[in-house]
């Protein structure tokens, strides 16, 4: 009997050693680079995110693949530059449009995690197509609860545009909003984690807050807490960030309470930099310091974001200074799951684990690219510490991010050979991209509906 017990113990121990980690990906929406404590904010208390940062590698050169909402999400969902498949704009809210969304030809992150043996769930903002064919349940998520459009009102009963007032959606069926939306998303994420704790299958959860994206709406308890901030827009935005931090804390507490923390790989990122809404609001209520630019721009403030990777016992906390990008989440997760063989060959993201664990030296990426507006639009490229910015037909700008994170000193005239090298690299990269397959909705103009056969 004893040999059998010993063998059983060995098998259980071996099973534990090779257990696939759960994967929790948390995405904030329009969060300013300097608007969380671990990035240096003194004005916004984010104790839960700061605690997570202390248990993470803080990637100081962490990027997303686009400077605004939907394209970044398309990149995260595929591990590929979204320009390769034409998802370079935000899709209009047109439930009859079969084009404006993440193309069905793309294999998605959750589909691959399902193949790796995971239960997959998504909570929050989708913004990857309004037609039913683009629904999260059709793209690899076993469970979904959230807002399918590009944003939503935060309080039940508020009135706004159609996209921001649609019912919430649970697995394809409408469901009423019951509370402040950030809190409701936090509750749903915690419920998912609790329901699947202790199951034989690991889980992957994509928690995509729409906070602190506009409209600026916050619970009174948080507005009261920041009553000393005179600017109303800034005060409300700060309250929204604090509310999101509280929701993140509740979700992480559920991971801890169900004894899953040591075996959960956690990512935190914003979908882009904070927007500059000076013209609309009278104040620029987000803070991207010390970066130049904001949401929508290919300067650092558009796509360099707060970026955390945590896996207790597997990734030593600290800072990581080499450039990484949210495209890396997909291959990194598959590698962590022991399913690297499922990784598609056409990815732009890479497995970060050997770099974060110091098994490999050097940079995970030789070069990173960004583009808005299709071919002939605005481009940026980073190779090493050198970054080239090309705004349409304007003369290229060159910056050394190692000494000039604020992109304040244009070195193009001093280093023409570097300008030429990077411009050539952009031209070569663009050969692997296509023109956008749909346009972003224009402010103040109705979305153009496609006729049958177009």
Give the residue from 336, 356, 376 where a domain finishes. 356
404 falls within a domain: yes
59, 69, 135, 152: which is the annotated catalytic residue?
69
Range of the domain at 202: 20-356
Do both 275 and 385 map to the same domain? no
pLDDT at 451: 36
CATH number at residue 406: 3.30.1120.10
**Alpha-carbon separation of residue 61 from 98, 102, 262, 405 (angstroms):** 36, 27, 26, 10
Do both 65 and 150 map to the same domain? yes
201 falls within a domain: yes
Give the residue from 356, 381, 396 where a domain finishes. 356
127, 152, 196, 365: which is the annotated catalytic residue?
127
Question: Which distant-in-sequence residues (6+ apart) come within 8 Å of 194 by Cβ?
Answer: 254, 258
Q: Is 59 a catalytic residue?
A: no
C-alpha span between 47 and 306 (Å, rounded)? 15
Do both 339 and 422 map to the same domain? no
**Alpha-carbon separation of residue 221 from 217, 236, 285, 308 (angstroms):** 12, 11, 20, 28
- Which strand (E) or helix (H) includes residue 11? helix 2-17
Give the residue from 296, 326, 356 where a domain finishes. 356
> What percent helix, strand, coil does the chain show, rounded to 5?
35, 15, 50
197 falls within a domain: yes
Do both 37 and 88 map to the same domain? yes
CATH number at residue 66: 3.40.720.10
Domain count, the chain: 2
Do both 230 and 371 map to the same domain? no
pLDDT at 17: 43
12 falls within a domain: no
Do both 351 and 374 map to the same domain? no
Do both 223 and 273 map to the same domain? yes
Where do we find the tokens 């998520």?
Answer: 141
DSSP, residue by residue, 67-125? SSHHHHHHHHHHTS-GGGTT--SPPPS-TT-SSSBS-TTSPPHHHHHHHTT-EEEEEEE
C-alpha span between 332 and 204 (Å, rounded)? 13
C-alpha span between 363 and 383 (Å, rounded)? 10
pTM summary value: 0.93
Q: What is the mean pLDDT of each run of 10 residues along the chain (454 residues)?
A: 45 52 98 97 96 98 98 98 98 97 98 98 98 98 98 92 95 97 98 96 98 97 97 96 98 98 98 81 82 97 98 96 98 98 98 96 97 96 98 97 98 98 98 97 51 35
Do both 309 and 210 map to the same domain? yes
Torsion angle of C-alpha atoms 434, 437, 442, 448, degrees rounded to 10: 150
Nearest one of 69, 217, 245, 235 to 154, comparing CA atoms? 217
pLDDT at 159: 84
C-alpha span between 306 and 322 (Å, rounded)? 14
Where do we find the tokens 């069905």?
Answer: 104
Do both 375 and 323 map to the same domain? no
C-alpha span between 311 and 402 (Å, rounded)? 28
117 falls within a domain: yes
Do both 127 and 147 map to the same domain? yes
194 falls within a domain: yes
5 falls within a domain: no
Do both 308 and 425 map to the same domain? no
371 falls within a domain: yes
Do both 292 and 396 map to the same domain? no
C-alpha span between 169 and 28 (Å, rounded)? 19
C-alpha span between 133 and 431 (Å, rounded)? 29
Give the SS3 label for residue 381: strand
Q: Is 196 a catalytic residue?
A: no
């Amino acid at each position: 009997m004893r040999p059998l017990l010993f063998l059983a113990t060995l098998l259980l121990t071996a099973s534990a050693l090779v257990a696939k980690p759960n994967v929790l990906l948390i995405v904030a929406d329009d969060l300013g680079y300097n608007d969380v404590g671990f990035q240096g904010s003194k004005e916004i208390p984010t104790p839960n995110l700061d605690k997570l940062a202390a248990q993470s590698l803080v990637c100081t050169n962490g990027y997303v693949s686009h400077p605004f909402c939907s394209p970044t999400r398309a990149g995260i969902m595929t591990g590929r530059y979204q320009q390769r498949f034409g998802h370079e704009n935000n899709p209009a809210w047109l439930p009859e449009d079969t084009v404006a969304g993440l193309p069905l030809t793309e294999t998605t992150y959750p589909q691959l995690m399902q193949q790796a043996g995971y239960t997959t769930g998504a909570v929050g903002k989708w913004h990857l197509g309004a037609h039913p064919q683009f629904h999260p349940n059709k793209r690899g998520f076993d469970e979904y609860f959230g807002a399918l459009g590009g944003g939503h009102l935060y309080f039940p009963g508020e009135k706004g545009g159609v996209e921001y007032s649609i019912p919430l959606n649970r697995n394809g069926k409408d469901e009423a909003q019951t509370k402040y939306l950030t809190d409701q998303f936090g509750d749903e994420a915690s419920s998912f984690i609790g329901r699947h704790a202790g199951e034989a299958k690991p889980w992957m959860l994509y928690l995509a807050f729409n906070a602190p994206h506009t409209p600026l709406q916050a619970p009174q308890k948080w507005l009261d807490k920041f009553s000393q901030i005179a600017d109303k827009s800034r005060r409300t935005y700060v309250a929204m960030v604090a509310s999101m931090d509280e929701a993140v804390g509740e979700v992480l507490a559920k991971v801890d309470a169900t004894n899953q923390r040591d075996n959960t790989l956690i990512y935190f990122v914003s979908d882009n930099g904070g927007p500059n809404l000076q013209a609309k609001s009278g104040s620029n209520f987000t803070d991207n310091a010390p970066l130049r630019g904001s949401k929508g721009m290919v300067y650092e403030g558009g796509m360099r974001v707060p970026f955390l990777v945590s896996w207790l016992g597997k990734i030593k906390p600290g800072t990581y200074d080499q450039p990484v990008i949210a495209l890396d989440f997909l291959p990194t997760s598959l590698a962590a799951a022991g399913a690297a063989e499922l990784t598609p060959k056409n990815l732009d993201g890479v497995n970060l684990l050997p770099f974060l664990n110091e098994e490999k030296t050097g940079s995970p990426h030789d070069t990173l690219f960004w583009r808005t507006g299709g071919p002939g639009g605005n481009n940026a490229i980073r190779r090493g510490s050198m970054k080239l910015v090309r705004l349409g037909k304007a003369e290229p700008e060159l910056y050394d991010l190692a000494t000039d994170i604020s992109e304040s000193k244009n070195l193009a005239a001093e280093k023409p050979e570097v300008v030429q090298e990077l411009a050539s690299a952009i031209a070569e990269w663009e050969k692997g991209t296509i023109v956008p397959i749909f346009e972003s909705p224009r402010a103040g103009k109705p979305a153009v509906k496609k006729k049958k056969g177009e």
